[in-house]
Structures are given as structure tokens and as C-alpha cells.
Structure 1
Amino acid sequence: MRQPVVVREYARLTTSAVAEGSLDVARVSESAFDWLCRESARLQKSGAALVQVDDRRWLRLDSYVGVIETPCGTRIEILPKTAEHGDNRDAARCLLRKMLARCLDLPARETSPTDIQTFDTPLTEWVMRQFLQALDKLVKRGLRFDYHRVQEEQRFLRGRLDVPRQLRQPPGRDHLFQIEHDVFDADRPENRLLCLALDRVCRLTRDAGNWRLAHELATFLAPVPRSCNVNEDFRRWRSDRLLTHYQPARPWCALILGEQTPLSVMGEWHGTSLLFPMEKIFERYVEAYLRKTLPRDATIKTQASSQYLCGHDSQEWFQLKPDFLIKQGERTWVLDTKWKLLDQALGGTKDKYGLSQSDFYQLFAYGHRYLPAEGQMLLIYPMTHRFQQPLPVFTYSQHLHLRVVPFDLQNDRLVGDLSQGSGFWVAQTNEAIQ
């Protein structure tokens, strides 16, 4: 097997010779390079590219993490970029695994099949959704039927009379016939396993969309018997050309029956390549922390969308959607997350800690529309060895302030004393997610 390429976010890929061991630069084959360019162009039509073309010899990865395999067999594992880990691949994998375990319902980019690691965890709605979508496509294309031999006792002749069994009948049963015949139905190992997995999804799902689709499929597949020997039926699962449309559903079926979840680093599970947006992973991870630590009288709303930047011709234009809107009584806080590395030592007017001016414009608009123009806002970045304490308060006006704070991914907490102007964080910030 070809040696996998291990890099991290925003790494550069080339076909030329490079120094080995770095997570920021790696060499790939020309066929893999060309395929990444084509795949990026295809994905760009749906909203975001996979890579950016620097020139004819270099590609720069985007902020997606996971594992992807090209048709030529090149496997590329993309890890999160944090200064804390440097080139420590195992630490980066552990961090990604911990974060994904809490937020696997986020959208993923899917490409070609590859080997992906799994870990035992309660089934997530995201895994069940992938299975239901694959099963729905399979059912629309049609279930595969097959003949199988049936031996039974009937009052009529059907098929072939089983003479030896008929002769062994005791007296008084001469009116019954021991027969055997072939039945053409959906009682196949593949269908039995899919129906068993579907029953488990129907029982476990709490998502309304998943529940509705699962029960629609269950009604359609009700006549199919359920598997009684999972291992044996998986061993008998055929992969010939007549069952090609079954293959996308098999990995998800195996995960559900094994109660496992795919992790987007390389391992033994052979399924679809998965790439997760690191910004969304960080956002969902912070959300899990907030829901765990907020007091009971506080409410959190994600992706609030009630306000717009401006009006025009009796219409509202440019919808504003902060990551989190927290309310406690009469007070409201706006929170936004950014997956970017800051440097606390670069505090001059030139470098500005590495902060983005567009992010501050964005928070300015949030503050004027959601607070309005009076209150506290938080901008949350991952904590690194260069950014370990909250930055001094940023003042938009006398009554509107922004705090830039680090989030400790190792201990699951917002760092620093946020009691000034924050209220409910006083006794909460040092609590970790259990």
C-alpha cells in the first residue's frame, strides 16, 4: 500500500520534491494533483472549494480536516492546525477525535471510498441520516430479489413432492403433502441486514426528519425478514455487478449494527472519504460547552437570523447570523467563534494580534442590530501558547464592548475572568464538560 500523506489545514501540495516530515508541505503524485484540481472545481459549484490553486505546481488546502483518497490510491489525511501540537500528529488526531465525538451532526464533504477509523459511541443522528439517505436511494432503484428453496407441509401440491419425507409421515397424516419449491422474494442477506439496521434507527432516532424517513422505509420493507445472524449475513453479502447500488449503504449499515461512529482519520473502516469544516467543528464544540455551563435561566440560540443589515425598497437586505445569542432575563450577549490562531505578542497597530478587520465589522453590525448598540459581545478563538489570556477590551462606543477570549480545547473551558460585564459567566467559566 502506498504511504499516506499526512498534512494539516492550509498545507501546500506539490508534485516536486520537498523535505519529508513537515505537516505544512507535502508531495503528491501528478495524477493525485490533477484529480484534486478537478474535484475542487466540482465541489466549488456547491459553495466551497477543496483546494486553492497557487500556480501550476502548488495547491493549498482549505480549512477542511479529514481523510481523502484519490482514484490513483493516494491517501491524504488532513489534521487540524494548532500551534500547540506543532508537528505532533498523534496529539492532533486525539484533539480531532474528541471534538468530532460531540459534533458529528455537522455537514461533511464526501468523495471517494477510503479507510477511516471508527470509535465506539452512541449512534449519532448524523450517522443515521447517512444510512437513511443511502437506503432511500437503494429502495428507489429497486431491491434485489432472489430465489430460495422452501420446504414445507401443505394440504396441496406445489412444486416438487419430497418423497422420502412423505413416506416417513406417521399414519393419519396422509392428507398432508411434504413439498419443496422455489420462492422469488427479497429474503436475501443484504436485505435482512439493511432491515435490521433500519429497525434500530427507527427505535433510536430523535430527529423528526430521520424519524419520518425511517418509518416510510420501514413500511415499504415490512415484508422483508430481519437478520438473525449478522456476521454470517455480512459474510454472504455479495458485491457483483447486480448489487452495485447496494455498496454505498453497506458501510453505514455495518456502523449502525456495530454501534460505531466514523472518525475522519485513517483506520480500518472502509467507507466514504469525509472532510469536515474545521470552523464548524470549533463552533459546535464551543456550543456544547455553553449548553453544559449556562445557568438554567439562560437560553442560547444558534445562528439567530432575525436581524438584517439594512432595508431597501420595503425589503430587508443582508441577513445577520451570529453564532450564538444568549439571553438571561433582560440581558443579551452576542458570541461568535473564529477558527484562527492569534498571537498575543503582536499587539501593535500593524499586526493587531492577527485579528481580521472584516470580523470586527461583522461584530459591529451584530452589536447594533441585536443588542442594540449597548451591551457585551464575545469573539472566541482557540487557545494556543501564543494566546492564553483574553485581550484588552475593544470599545466600539461607550456602551458597546467586545472581548476577544481564548477557548482551551484541552480542558474545555473559556479562559480568563469574564465576570466584567458578563454576569452569568462568573461561576461557570472554570467548569469543564464532563
Structure 2
Amino acid sequence: MSSKNFIQVFEYQKLKIGEDGFSENHLNSLVKFNEKNGNKYFTPIYRGVQFNSYVGVIQVGGLTIEILPKADNSDHPNKQLWQSVLLNMLRVCKHIQVDTVSETGLKRKNNSILEVYFELFIREVEQLVKKGLIKKYRRVENNQLTLKGKLVFSRDIQKNLIHKERFYCEHQVYDKDHQIHQIIFQALKIVDTLLSNRLKDRVKRLLYEFNDFTVREFTAKQFQDLKLDRKSKTYSKSLDISKMLILNYSPNLNSGQDQMLTLLFDMNKLWEEYIYRILQKHHDSNLYEISAQSQDKFWENKTIRPDIVIRNNKETFVIDTKWKIVDSNNPADDDLKQMFAYNLHWKSSKSILLYPKITQEDSKFGRYHHKPYRLSDDTFQEVENYCKVGFLSVVRDGALRDSEILAEEIFLKLQSVLKQNY
């Protein structure tokens, strides 16, 4: 990918016409796309856009814009490092299988996250072709000269009122031109439209293998209804990426001028899922039970949903994750009230507001003055009720930190109240 067609920015950064090949056509396409999605991805500004909390990649009119997360106070943050942070989070959250990409991977200059998806998809399909594309039964309706299968009376009357020698029938055929291959074919055509680099030849070779298959459009509902059996299970990864490509591709966004593919992730939700998954992976199942998005009824038809709930045989902890940079470890009033409600509802004695760390230090566990009564050994007893602000650094000394160390650090934050004197 040429550097002229590749822009890397950070969340909340501004991008204006004339910067790094960003044109008025690109801006118009982005604005139209944003309007169709409730203006949640960025904010239009004079002759440009300011990105919001969504990270990922946008490809529009031959230009790739990569939006990276940032928890760094540097004026010139390391883009390659924060690209690795995003890729690692996507990998941990199972949005991408980065480990299967070629070893050169992102070390190649000007390689975007989108190319990682493309290369993974191409490799998966190449493996399928090498093993041999599977055949499946599918239903076919057509007008023919012999009666084969089941006669469709309504269509036969409509089609053959004059041509009595024909029969409109429904029957089964056993071949390779079935829905699974049609989905992959559609995704390959999208990739071929968007690629202009070393992967292009590989896509062309794959398109030759799929060229005889039916061209169809697919919707989210069709992907939901798609079921894989033992024979087609090996197609799961390629179909996952196909779904992502097909449902996020907009071929006629700007009166047909610019084609757009968007892979955008809400950084707050990604941070929440990342923390949950590393805790789930590295916790001692004999000591802790960890659940995410434990939704419960709260008031009338409203619900309450903390990000992460952790239980052991003695107490319950609540973690609320927030991907934003805060200068102080003094929690906001609204956040304190929210955590207080979590503590009461989930019978938790300690809760944490967990932010990304730059140079901040954790606060101590602050005590709520209200002490709820809880039933214990047939008597009601007062219990302590705490909350703190915690910070977690995903990078250190210019490198990613190991997820096991991060998980251990979070568990230590939960226990630190025991060392405080009140």
C-alpha cells in the first residue's frame, strides 16, 4: 500500500481536506456515511472531520484511513505501537485472528489493519481451494422439457399455459454452486475492488476458481440463518470475514463515485471486552467467578448492567471500565453514584472505575458513608461499601504488556483495601 493512499490518525484527532491526500470527495463520502449511522463515528468540522471514540479503519475512494486508540501524553505518539495495541485488543476479543497472518505482517511499511483482514481472508480461501471445494444439495426451480422433481403448479400455469411441452419443476442438485461459495465469491469481488497491491494477483487466482458460481446479494438475516455442518465447519473463519466485508461495504455511497468499506469499533466497548477476556483467561476458577454484562431489572422496565462482576466465596466486586484519559484519581460525582448503585444492587462491597493509565496513580478505596444491612447467619449486619479509581497501562517502555500481568494487576487492585487503615 502506498503511503500516499494511507493515513493514520488517533481518536479525537482532526483530519482536513488537503492533508495526506484527503480530498473533498473523501469528505463528502464520510459525511454521508456518518449521517446514515446517526453521526456517531465522527464530528464534521470546517473542511474536515474530527474523529470520536470509534477506532479501526475506513477505506474510501482508494484512500485508507486508520483510526488508532491513544493513551499517551506524547505530542508525537508511536503509531506502530498503538496499531499493535489495537490489533492485540481485536485479537484477544476474537475480532481477528492475527496470529495466522504471515510473519512479515504489520512489519511491512504502510500495512494497515484492513490488509491484515484481507490477507487472513485470502489465506483461508486458498486453503479451502487447496483441500477442494465441497458440494452441497440445493433446491432449484426452472422450466424444463422433462418432468423432474416436483411440479410447481402455480408457476407451471403461469409460465406454460401455451407451452404444454414444458414443466416448471422444483428439484435438488448436488454441486458446488451453493450459498456458502456464493458468499465467499461476493466477498472476493469486494476485496478485488478495494485492493491495489501485492495481494491482487492472489485474489484474481481465487476469483477464477469461483467464477462459475451464482452472483447474489446477501443480508444480515441470511447470515443469521446460515448453518454449518460437520462437512462445512472448515469454512467458518472465511465466512466470518466474508460477513464482515459484505455487511460493511457500501458500493454506491457517493452517487457511485466512491466505494467504502468500514471496520469501526467503539473503543469503550472494546476496552470493556478486552478487560473481561483477560480476566476470564487468567483467573483462578477455584477462587473467582467472572461474568460480563450481568443485566438485571432495576426500575420498572429499566435494567442495570455493570461491565464486569467478580465473585469469590467471600465477597463480590464490580468493575466499570472507561476508555478515556482523566487527569485526576478523584472520581466524578455521577460515576460515584453509579458505582454506589452497583454496589447496593449486586451486594458488592468494593467497586472500581478502571481507566487507561498514562502517569496517574490509583486512588485509595474511599468509603461510602451509607452502610447497607445484609442478612448473614440469620441476622442483619452492616457491611462496608467502597469505591476507587484504578488505572491500567497496556504499554510499557514502548512495548505491549503481557495480558497475564495485566490480569494479576487488576486482582491486586481489588484486594488493596485490606491494607488500608480507616
Partner of 1:43: 37
Partner of 1:128: none
Which of 271, 276, 282 does residue 265 from structure 2 map onto? 276
Cα offset, 1:144, TM superposition: 11
CA contact (8 A) 1:189 1:236 kept: no
Distance in 2 (CA, whole Å) between partners of 1:279 and 1:99 is 12
Cα offset, 1:67, TM superposition: 1.0
Partner of 1:117: 116
Letter in 2 for 1:324: I
| Secondary structure in 2 matching 1:117 | helix
Partner of 2:326: 342
| Secondary structure in 2 matching 1:325 | strand
Cα offset, 1:338, TM superposition: 0.8
Is 1:392 aligned to 2:364, yes or no?
yes
Distance in 1 (CA, whole Å) between partners of 2:53 and 2:292 is 22
1:243-296 residue CA offsets vs partner (Å, 9 max, x unmatched): 2537999xx99x96595786xxxxxxx995311111122111111221133332
Which of 237, 244, 250 does residue 210 from structure 2 map onto? 237
Letter in 2 for 1:78: I
Partner of 2:274: 285
1:358-369 paired onto structure 2 within 5 Å: 358-369=334-345
1:28-427 paired onto structure 2 within 5 Å: 28-44=22-38, 49-53=40-44, 55-70=45-60, 72-83=61-72, 86-104=76-94, 115-118=114-117, 191=178, 194=181, 234-238=207-211, 243-245=215-217, 257=235, 272-295=261-284, 296-308=286-298, 310=299, 316-343=300-327, 346=328, 352=330, 356-371=332-347, 375-384=349-358, 386-387=359-360, 389-397=361-369, 399-409=384-394, 410-412=401-403, 413-414=406-407, 415=409, 417-418=412-413, 419-421=415-417
| Secondary structure in 2 matching 1:34 | helix
Q: Which protein is bigger by CA-based radius of gyration?
A: 1
Runs of 4+ in 1 over 6 A off after TM superposition: 142-145, 230-233, 246-249
CA contact (8 A) 2:365 2:417 kept: no
Partner of 1:8: 10
CA contact (8 A) 1:10 1:60 kept: yes
| Secondary structure in 2 matching 1:99 | helix
Distance in 2 (CA, whole Å) between partners of 1:307 and 1:421 is 29
Cα offset, 1:50, TM superposition: 1.6
Q: Which runs of 5+ in 2 are unaligned?
A: 97-112, 124-136, 143-170, 185-202, 242-248, 250-259, 372-383, 395-400
Cα offset, 1:342, TM superposition: 2.9
Q: Which runs of 5+ in 1 are unaligned?
A: 21-26, 107-113, 124-138, 146-183, 198-229, 263-269, 311-315, 424-434
Distance 1:393 1:77, change over 3 A: same
**Aligned sequence identity (%):** 21
| Secondary structure in 1 matching 2:5 | coil
Instruction: Indicate the structure with greater helix content.
Output: 2
Letter in 1 for 2:5: Q
Distance in 1 (CA, whole Å) between partners of 2:141 and 2:94 is 32
Distance in 2 (CA, whole Å) between partners of 1:61 and 1:411 is 29
CA contact (8 A) 1:51 1:59 kept: yes
Distance 1:356 1:68, change over 3 A: farther
CA contact (8 A) 1:120 1:259 kept: no
Distance 1:236 1:292, change over 3 A: closer
Partner of 2:162: none
Residues matched between the structures, number: 292
Distance 1:196 1:239, change over 3 A: closer
Distance in 2 (CA, whole Å) between partners of 1:377 and 1:193 is 46
Partner of 2:102: none
Distance in 1 (CA, whole Å) between partners of 2:206 and 2:63 is 32
CA contact (8 A) 2:364 2:417 kept: no
